[in-house]
Amino acid sequence: MLIQDWKNRSASTQKEHHKFINRLKREKSKVLNERAERLHEEVFGELDCLDCANCCTSIPPIVNRADASRIAKHLGMKVARFGEEYLHQDEDGDMVMNTTPCPFLQSDNACLIYEVRPKACRKYPHTDNLEFADHLKLHQQNVMYCPAVFHIVERLMQI
Ligand code: SF4
Ligand code: SF4
């Protein structure tokens, strides 16, 4: 329901969301983060990432050195071999997964390396841990990629 609503409306509301998020820069971070934290719990209680997986399908996550060595160990591979097989450098110079959808995304939308997934995957979409206000620019893009961000922003607009 929330995912379908995002699919139906994210393109037509993008400009409105963009402007609203710009205005959030004037809000006190502490108050905004606390509101977002509450809405994060609410929205993720109503949607299941396993019904979505749009982030894993469309955004290659950054894989830092610690991630690479943890995942390689989990897969029983040498780090260098893991890098050759699964990573490449993006235009910003970051090492990221080399395919979209992610090579570890399975057909049921589960992550094959969930327990050892990259930090970027664990933190996405940066709407909890009282860090919402630190990522406003990112949220402006993510309303198009993540139904949870879309609905958190929609609900912030109602407050
Ligand atoms: S590593 Fe797992 S959580 Fe991260 S993008 Fe790939 S499938 Fe998704
Ligand atoms: S795009 Fe958002 S709602 Fe969809 S799987 Fe990723 S975090 Fe979950």
Separation of CA 142 from chain center = 7
Q: What span, in angstroms and rounded, lies between the C-alpha atoms of 131 and 64?
A: 20
Q: Whose CA is nearest to atom 6 of ligand 2?
A: 55
Q: What's the pLDDT at 64?
A: 98
Q: What's the pLDDT at 18?
A: 97
Q: What span, in angstroms and rounded, lies between the C-alpha atoms of 61 and 79?
A: 17
Q: Which ligand has its closest atom nearest to the C-alpha of 47?
A: 2
| 104 Cβ below 6 A of ligand 1 | yes
Q: Outline where DSSP puts E strands in the chain.
A: 87-89, 95-97
pLDDT band at 4 (very low <50, low <70, confident <90, very high): very high
Q: Which ligand has its closest atom nearest to the C-alpha of 55?
A: 2
Cα angle 48, 50, 56 (rounded to 5 degrees) comes to 120
Q: What's the pLDDT at 84?
A: 98
- What integer is the mean pLDDT of 88-115? 97
72 touches 79 (CB < 8 A): yes
Q: Which atom of ligand 2 is nearest to the CA of 47?
A: 3
Q: What's the pLDDT at 104?
A: 98
Q: What's the pLDDT at 15?
A: 97
**pLDDT tens digits for range 27-76:** 999 999 999 999 999 999 999 999 999 999 999 999 999 999 999 999 99
- What integer is the mean pLDDT of 71-95? 98
Return the best residue to mutate from 1, 50, 52 for the ligand 2 pocket (most ligand atoms within 8 A of CB).
52
Return the best residue to mutate from 124, 135, 151, 154 for the ligand 2 pocket (most ligand atoms within 8 A of CB).
124
Mean pLDDT of all residues belonging to the chain: 97
pTM: 0.95
Q: What's the pLDDT at 34?
A: 97
Helix (H, G, I), strand (E, B) or coil at 105: strand
Q: What's the pLDDT at 150?
A: 98
Q: Whose CA is nearest to atom 2 of ligand 1?
A: 111
User: How many angstroms does the Cα of residue 32 sit away from the middle of ligand 2?
Assistant: 21
State the DSSP code for 112. T
